[in-house]
Chains A and B, each alone.
Chain A
C-alpha cells in the first residue's frame, strides 16, 4: 500500500507512513539522485522503500556490501554535484567512520545526507550507541526529527543545509520513530535534472592545490559556526515561554513527544516552558540560553546519552549559573535505556511536586509473570541454520568427543539464535565478521574454535579476516551458513544473489570461489537439509589441518515460503502408530512446527507452520515422520 502513496506527487495529500518511509519520501521530495545503504534494524525500511520505488521515481538505489562502501558511493555522487543519501543502523557508522571524517573535512558538493538509526534499549542490537557523539567528533551537523512528518521535512531540509555549508548532514532517528507510523502530509516531488560533473576545484588537488585541500580544519570550524547561526532560527526548533515558569524542559527529537504528552496528562501546561529541539549539534546556544535565563530548573529529555545535557551544563555557566539541571546525568532520568511517557511524566511530576494519580498494576503484572511463560525468539520452522548447527554439533561430538572442547564463535544474523535450547551450540558473538578474526587469536594460543558466519556477514566483513587466516597460517575452521539472503533484517539480497536491490539481474559472486581465491585449504558446499552428508562434510572440515571451510547452502525457509506464495510447502506428518512419544525430535532439534498432544503423548506436526524441510524425519529414531522433501 505504501508504495502507492509514497510515490504520489500529490502535495497536501495525507497518507500513512512509517518514520523510515517518511525519511525516504523526504529524500525523494528533495530530488535525491543516489541512495545507498546496508541493511540493519531499525534502518532497513529506508533502503527497502528505495528498493521498491527507485525505478518509478528515477533514482539509483543499491544495497552496498557494507556501510563504508555505501557511504563512499553516496559521497562519490555528491562530489559530482548530485544529491545523495546513505542510511544505516547506528553501528554501521562505526564501519563507515574512516570515510565519514574525510567527507566533512574535505566537504561535499551535492547535498549528502547520512541517516543514522539509533537503537535505545537495543531492541535489535548488541549495544546502545548514541551516534551524535560520532557526528560531533567529525563535525557533522545533526538533525533530530520527532515525528514522521518532521522526519520527511528535516530530511529534505538536510539536503539544502548540506549544499549550503558543504558538509554532510546527519538525520538521527531512533527505533521508536523509525518504526512508528502516522499521518503525513505529502509535499511536492522535485525531480533533479542536474547533470553530474566532478567538482575539480573542490576535490582535485591537481587543480585546487594540495595544501588548500588538505588543511581545512579552520574552514570546517567556520562552517559549523554558520550552521549554529542557522539553527538559532530553525523553524523546527520551537521555544514555548509563557513568562513566569519555574521549570523548563528541553526535549530532543522523538523524546519531545513524551514531554508533550506528559505535560498534557499532568495538566501543567502553564507551569512549564519548553524547547522542542530538532538540531542537537551544533547546539543553537542563544536559543537554549533564552530558556535557561527564564527558569530556575531545567530538565533535559533525550535518547540515549546526555549529549545535549552535557552541553547545556556548560552553557548554564554563561546564561544562568544558579540553574538546577536535571536529566540523565544527575539520575533524575535513568542513565541508560529508552525513555517513555511514564518515565518522563514521573520526572516532571516530581520536579513540580504534583500528584500523578496512576493506578499501579505492579502486583497484577507480577502475578501474571508468575504463571505466564516467556515467549522467546526462535529460529523459524524449517530454518536451515537449525539443521546446520545440529549436524555440526553431531560432527564435533564424534570427532572431538566433548562439545566443550571447541569454542563456537558465532556472528551477526539469525543463526545467533543457535545459542538457545535445545540446539545451544553457539558461544560468542560480537560484530559483523568478528567470528573469523577472534577464532584466529584463539587457535593461535591453542584453543580450538569454529567460526560460524552467515553469507551476508561474510561479504560484509568476513573476507579480509579470511585472507588473514590463510596469510598468517592460522589453523581455523569456518562454517558459512549460507541461506542466500540477509534474512534477519528483512531478506535483502547480497552479492551472491544474482540480482541487485533494484531487481536487475547481475553476476553471482560465489563464496566458494572467493574462498578458493583466498587460498583456503579445503572448501566444500553441502545442503544442510541432508543431515548425514552435512555431518560428513563437517567431519572432514574438522580433520583438515589449515584453513577449512564448509558452506552450508539452503535458502532461508521463510524467504522460500514468501517467494512461493500463495502456494505452501507440503507439510510432513507424524504417524501416530509409530510415534512412541520419546520427544527426541523436540528435545534435540526443536523445530517449532513439532508440537505435542498431551492426551495421546505423541508428537504432531503443525500443518500451518511446517515448511516441508524433512529434517525431523532424519532425526526420528522410530522413522515415524513421513513426507517428501521440498526440492
Chain B
C-alpha cells in the first residue's frame, strides 16, 4: 500500500503525543512499519505541537508539505496553521473547533481570527473538512483531557486507518491505567459517532 500520512496539530498539554503513540502502537500490532516525527522542545504547556505519523514504507520522520492524507486538528487555529502547509489537495481534515487562545490574544494584543476566515483558508486545500467540538464531547464523557480520545475515535470512524477499530481499542486499554478506561472509551465512542453522523449526512 501507499503509506498513510497523518499530521496531528495541537497545543502543548492536549495529549497529542499520547494520541500519536497509540496510533503507532496499533499500526505495529497490525504489522505495519511506522514512523513518528515530533516537534516539541520545552516542558511548558501552551506552545504549538505537531506530530507526523507515517504508516507504511518511508524513511524520514517528517512528512513533506502537501503530502498528508489526514489532518487531525486538536485546536482550530493550529489545524489551519498546519493544514495549509501539510494537507494534500482534498485530504481529510478532522478539526476540533474548540479554541485555545494564547496569552497574546487573551491580553488583547492580537485577535483570534473568526471561524469563517479560518475554515476558508483550509477550504483552499480541501473540501473534506469535518469539524466538531471534540472538547465538549470529552467533557460529556467526564474529562476535557480526554479530547485526544475523542479525536482518536473520530480518526477511526473516518475509515482511513488500515486496521480495524478493535486494534486501537486494545492498544488503548493495554497502555492506559484501568481507572481511566471508562472515560476514555466513552470519549472514543463519542468521537466516533460524531464523525460517523457527519459522514452519513454528507452521503445522504
User: What is A's interface to B at a CB cutoff of 8 Å?
Assistant: 1, 14-16, 41, 123-124, 146-147, 176-177, 179-183, 256-258, 260-261, 265, 340-342, 358-359, 361, 364-365, 367-368, 371-381, 383, 414, 417, 421-422, 487-491, 558, 566, 583, 586-587, 590, 592, 594-596, 608-609
State in angstroms the CA–CA spacing of A147 and B11 once bound together.
27
State in angstroms the CA–CA spacing of A517 and B106 once bound together.
46
- Within B79-129, the residues touching A (CB, 8 Å) are 80-81, 84-85, 89, 101-113, 117-118, 121, 124-125
> A123 — which chain B residues lie within 8 A by C-beta?
39, 41
Q: Check A181/B44 contact, CB under 8 A, given A371-B113, A372-B77.
A: no
CB distance from B194 to the nearest CB of A (A): 21
17 residue pairs of the A-B complex, CB under 8 angstroms, read A1-B21, A179-B40, A180-B37, A181-B35, A182-B33, A258-B59, A261-B58, A265-B64, A341-B62, A359-B89, A365-B85, A371-B118, A376-B47, A378-B102, A489-B43, A490-B43, A586-B107
State in angstroms the CA–CA spacing of A157 and B12 once bound together.
37
Q: Give the number of chain B interface residues (Cβ < 8 Å).
A: 59
CB distance from A123 to the nearest CB of B (A): 5
Q: Check A176/B37 contact, CB under 8 A, given A365-B84, A596-B108.
A: yes
List 12 other contacts, CB 8 Å, given A182-B34, A361-B85.
A16-B21, A41-B41, A124-B41, A176-B37, A181-B24, A340-B64, A342-B64, A364-B84, A373-B110, A375-B78, A381-B45, A595-B106
Q: Which residue of A lies closest to B45 (CB)?
A: A380
- The verdict on B42 contacting chain A, using a C-beta distance below 8 Å, is yes
Q: Check A340/B80 contact, CB under 8 A, given A124-B42, A586-B107.
A: no
Cβ-defined partner of A417 (8 Å) among B24, B44, B109, B113? B44
Cβ-defined partner of A558 (8 Å) among B44, B47, B144? B44
State in angstroms the CA–CA spacing of A358 and B67 once bound together.
10
CB distance from B130 to the nearest CB of A (A): 20
Cβ-defined partner of A15 (8 Å) among B28, B41, B77, B101? B28
> B11 — which chain A residues lie within 8 A by C-beta?
375
Contact B60 A257 (CB under 8 A): yes
Q: Check A378/B42 contact, CB under 8 A, given A340-B60, A583-B108.
A: no
State in angstroms the CA–CA spacing of A583 and B42 once bound together.
28
> B112 — which chain A residues lie within 8 A by C-beta?
373
Contact B46 A14 (CB under 8 A): no
Contact A16 B34 (CB under 8 A): yes
Cβ-defined partner of A16 (8 Å) among B25, B41, B58, B121? B25
- The verdict on B164 contacting chain A, using a C-beta distance below 8 Å, is no
Q: Which residue of A lies closest to B66 (CB)?
A: A359
- The verdict on B162 contacting chain A, using a C-beta distance below 8 Å, is no
CB distance from A117 to the nearest CB of B (A): 13
User: What is B's interface to A at a CB cutoff of 8 Å?
Assistant: 11, 21, 24-25, 28, 33-48, 58-62, 64-66, 77-78, 80-81, 84-85, 89, 101-113, 117-118, 121, 124-125, 144-145, 174-175, 179
Contact A379 B44 (CB under 8 A): yes
Dominant secondary structure at the A interface: loop
Q: Check A491/B33 contact, CB under 8 A, given A15-B28, A258-B60, A368-B84.
A: no
Of the candidates B24, B40, B105, B107, the one having the most CB atoms from chain A within 10 angstroms of its own CB is B107
Contact A375 B46 (CB under 8 A): yes
Contact B64 A373 (CB under 8 A): no
Of the candidates B34, B61, B111, B112, the one having the most CB atoms from chain A within 10 angstroms of its own CB is B61
Contact A371 B117 (CB under 8 A): yes
CB distance from A376 to the nearest CB of B (A): 7
State in angstroms the CA–CA spacing of A256 and B59 once bound together.
9
> B78 — which chain A residues lie within 8 A by C-beta?
375
Q: Check A1/B175 contact, CB under 8 A, given A15-B28, A375-B78.
A: yes
Contact B21 A372 (CB under 8 A): no
Contact B62 A176 (CB under 8 A): yes
State in angstroms the CA–CA spacing of A609 and B106 once bound together.
14
> B47 — which chain A residues lie within 8 A by C-beta?
375-377
Contact B46 A378 (CB under 8 A): yes
Contact B107 A422 (CB under 8 A): yes
CB distance from B147 to the nearest CB of A (A): 10
Contact B46 A592 (CB under 8 A): yes
> A587 — which chain B residues lie within 8 A by C-beta?
107
Cβ-defined partner of B21 (8 Å) among A181, A257, A377? A181
State in angstroms the CA–CA spacing of A359 and B85 once bound together.
11
Cβ-defined partner of B81 (8 Å) among A15, A372, A488? A372
Of the candidates A182, A257, A490, A608, the one having the most CB atoms from chain B within 10 angstroms of its own CB is A182
Cβ-defined partner of B107 (8 Å) among A257, A414, A487, A590? A590
> A414 — which chain B residues lie within 8 A by C-beta?
42-44
CB distance from B41 to the nearest CB of A (A): 4
State in angstroms the CA–CA spacing of A487 and B45 once bound together.
12
State in angstroms the CA–CA spacing of A489 and B112 once bound together.
31
Cβ-defined partner of B113 (8 Å) among A372, A489, A608, A609? A372
Cβ-defined partner of B28 (8 Å) among A183, A258, A596? A183
State in angstroms the CA–CA spacing of A378 and B35 once bound together.
29
> A364 — which chain B residues lie within 8 A by C-beta?
84, 121, 124-125
CB distance from B166 to the nearest CB of A (A): 18
> A592 — which chain B residues lie within 8 A by C-beta?
45-46, 102-103, 106
State in angstroms the CA–CA spacing of A490 and B11 once bound together.
17
Cβ-defined partner of B80 (8 Å) among A341, A358, A372? A372
> A590 — which chain B residues lie within 8 A by C-beta?
103, 107
> A1 — which chain B residues lie within 8 A by C-beta?
21, 25, 174-175
State in angstroms the CA–CA spacing of A265 and B65 once bound together.
13
Of the candidates B60, B113, B145, the one having the most CB atoms from chain A within 10 angstroms of its own CB is B60
CB distance from A343 to the nearest CB of B (A): 11
Q: Check A376/B102 contact, CB under 8 A, given A258-B60, A367-B121.
A: yes
Contact B28 A14 (CB under 8 A): yes
> A361 — which chain B residues lie within 8 A by C-beta?
65-66, 84-85, 125
> A608 — which chain B residues lie within 8 A by C-beta?
144-145
> B175 — which chain A residues lie within 8 A by C-beta?
1
Q: Which residue of A lies closest to B58 (CB)?
A: A261
CB distance from A330 to the nearest CB of B (A): 24
> B24 — which chain A residues lie within 8 A by C-beta?
16, 181
> A586 — which chain B residues lie within 8 A by C-beta?
103, 106-108
CB distance from A596 to the nearest CB of B (A): 5
Contact A182 B36 (CB under 8 A): yes
> B144 — which chain A residues lie within 8 A by C-beta?
608
Q: Check A558/B43 contact, CB under 8 A, given A16-B25, A176-B62.
A: yes
